[in-house]
Amino acid sequence: MTKQKQQKKDLPNRGGQTFKLRPILMAGVAMILSSCGNGDDKSKAADPILVEIKRAQSVNAQTEIVATGSFRREKEIDLSFRISGVLREVNFREGQLVDKGGVVASIDPTQVEAQIIQAQAQAMQATAGIGQAVEQARAATSSIASARAGQAQAEANTSRAAAALAQAQADLANARRDYDRDATLVQKGFVSEARLDARKTRLDVAEATARSAEAGLSAARQGTLAANAGITQAQAGAGAAQAGVQAASGRARAAEAVVSAAAFDRRWARLVAPVRGIVLTRAAEPGEITAPGQPILTVADEDSPLILRTPVSDKDVARIQVGDSADVYVSALSKNLKGVVTRVAERADPRTGAFDVDIAIEGGGDVKTGFFAEARIKAKTSAAPLAASNEVLVPTESLIGVTNGKATLFVLNGDQKTVRLATVDFVRLEGNQALVRGIPAGVGIVTSGGAYVSDKAQVSVVEAKS
């Protein structure tokens, strides 16, 4: 037995390094070994050794992809506040069940309440500003009315002044004509000097009256211009007052919006669970300052489908498609489940280099988030042609050792009662299997108990479940 153990060699992995193969001991082997101390040497040699075997698989027949992963819910939600503040309480820890609508955390409302009070004060001030602006608009409207009345009066004064000037100019023309006539008659002696003097006085008065009438008309016209300017100014004042009303209304609406926003913030000072689920992570503690969008808790929606997320290699992910079926074994429950691939990652995880595959489970029952399971995915797409027709796949645990491209393992003979030590060509590793050349597909390969057998040893066979 010691000699057999010494035959184990180091097996190369994909990186060119080596690893030790450790035989898997079965309970039956332990029972046989324990019973050896009760008999003589002849009985030891006669008793067959209990071994477990698996069948060598043809590469073309290899369609299953074996992967291990953990269960989770398809929908996981990060719960966060929409506002910043100091955390007052966080009510749940990892693993606890949260009911939909339950308060999971809250922010100290002092700052939010202060914002509401300030916003309300601004709203009241803005409303008062509207009243003042309306009064200014009314005063501006009254000014327009007064200016229009002054314009009408100025236009009437201009009309009267124009009429007075026309009359004065007519009187002046008559006075000048009478004076010129009497001045001629005085030279001929027909009119006295006293009459001519009277005509001269009348002419002077008429000229003075005409000049006064011209000045009155000019003043009246200036009054009309001033009245028109007053109207323009009053209208501008009214426009400014109306703009003031609109500006005050805008400030009031803005202040009301601030009040509404502050009330909205007060509502969101309490963080409520949108679903019924299990708390996966708790990322913050009371007393910490949280920012908008910063996750406080991560919750798995218990009403969403249960999935098994398994990482696979780039070679395997190329064969997997959405809709592929899978057999899932949950070791914690010793339970077999059926599943279907629902998602295949488009890119590798930058931390691990593996591609995540999601498998939806039917009838999960007692399966809990975080349970581990092994999935055998029935890939519909065959592997790329990378093996010769005489190459087969064998479990890596069946290899005793590998040296210089040669591997040794125990093969079940045709009598199904004895084994032989076979040497095969080692091609490469394929996940948890090895690609070898030199044995036919379907032959039994010892996977457990090989450490206690030798060439041509008699064995009792248990065939492992695939």
How do residues 104-148 score in pLDDT, each as one tens digit?
Answer: 999 887 777 777 788 778 778 878 878 887 887 788 788 888 878
Q: Is 453 left (phi over 0), alpha (psi -120 to 50) or beta?
A: beta
Q: What is the pTM of this model?
A: 0.44
Asked if 23 and 449 touch (Cβ cutoff 8 Å), the reply is yes
Hey, what amino acid is at 299?
V
| Cα separation, 15 vs 312, whole angstroms | 17
Please report the pLDDT score of residue 394 as a whole number. 93
| Cα separation, 22 vs 8, whole angstroms | 9
Asked if 310 and 359 touch (Cβ cutoff 8 Å), the reply is yes
Cα–Cα nearest to 282, from 427, 98, 432, 440 = 98
| Cα separation, 265 vs 83, whole angstroms | 7
Please report the pLDDT score of residue 386 as a whole number. 46
- Write a three-state SS string for 152-213: HHHHHHHHHHHHHHHHHHHHHHHHHHHHHHHHHHHHHCCCCHHHHHHHHHHHHHHHHHHHHH
| Cα separation, 388 vs 274, whole angstroms | 56
Q: Which domains does the chain have, with CATH numbers?
A: 1-62+384-466 (2.40.420.20), 64-74+305-382 (2.40.30.170), 76-107+269-301 (2.40.50.100), 112-266 (1.10.287.620)
What's the half-sphere exposure (Cβ side, CA atoms, 13 Å) at 232? 6
Asked if 334 and 308 touch (Cβ cutoff 8 Å), the reply is no
| Cα separation, 446 vs 440, whole angstroms | 15
Please report the pLDDT score of residue 46 as a whole number. 58
| Cα separation, 80 vs 77, whole angstroms | 9
Asked if 91 and 284 touch (Cβ cutoff 8 Å), the reply is no
Cα dihedral 439, 441, 444, 449 sign: positive
Q: Phi/psi of residue 365, each to 5°?
A: 60, -115
Please report the pLDDT score of residue 294 as a whole number. 93
| Cα separation, 288 vs 290, whole angstroms | 6
Residue with tokens 């090895």: 434
CB atoms within 10 A of CB 7: 13
- Tell me 380's DSSP state: S
Please report the pLDDT score of residue 103 as a whole number. 93
Please report the pLDDT score of residue 419 as a whole number. 94
Please report the pLDDT score of residue 466 as a whole number. 58
CB atoms within 10 A of CB 104: 21
pLDDT in tens, the chain (466 residues): 433 333 344 444 433 334 344 343 333 434 444 444 444 454 455 589 999 999 998 876 556 888 999 999 889 899 998 888 889 999 999 989 999 999 999 988 777 777 778 877 877 887 887 888 788 778 878 888 887 888 888 888 888 888 988 998 898 899 889 888 888 888 888 888 888 888 889 889 988 998 998 888 888 888 888 888 888 888 888 888 788 888 878 877 887 787 777 777 777 788 999 999 999 999 999 999 999 999 999 999 988 888 999 999 888 888 899 999 999 999 999 999 999 999 999 999 999 899 999 999 887 788 888 899 999 998 865 554 444 557 899 999 999 999 999 999 999 999 999 999 999 999 988 778 899 999 998 899 999 988 889 999 999 999 887 5
Please report the pLDDT score of residue 382 as a whole number. 54
Please report the pLDDT score of residue 61 as a whole number. 54
Cα–Cα nearest to 354, from 399, 320, 393 = 320
Please report the pLDDT score of residue 186 as a whole number. 83
Please report the pLDDT score of residue 138 as a whole number. 81
**Cα angle for residues 282, 283, 285 (degrees, 5° grid):** 90
Q: State the burial class of residue 73 (Cβ atoms within 10 Å of its Cβ: 0-12, 13-18, 19+).
A: buried
| Cα separation, 281 vs 290, whole angstroms | 16
Please report the pLDDT score of residue 60 as a whole number. 60
Question: What is the Cα 346 distance to its own chain's centre?
Answer: 19
| Cα separation, 96 vs 162, whole angstroms | 101
3-state helix, strand, coil in the chain (%, to 5): 40, 30, 30
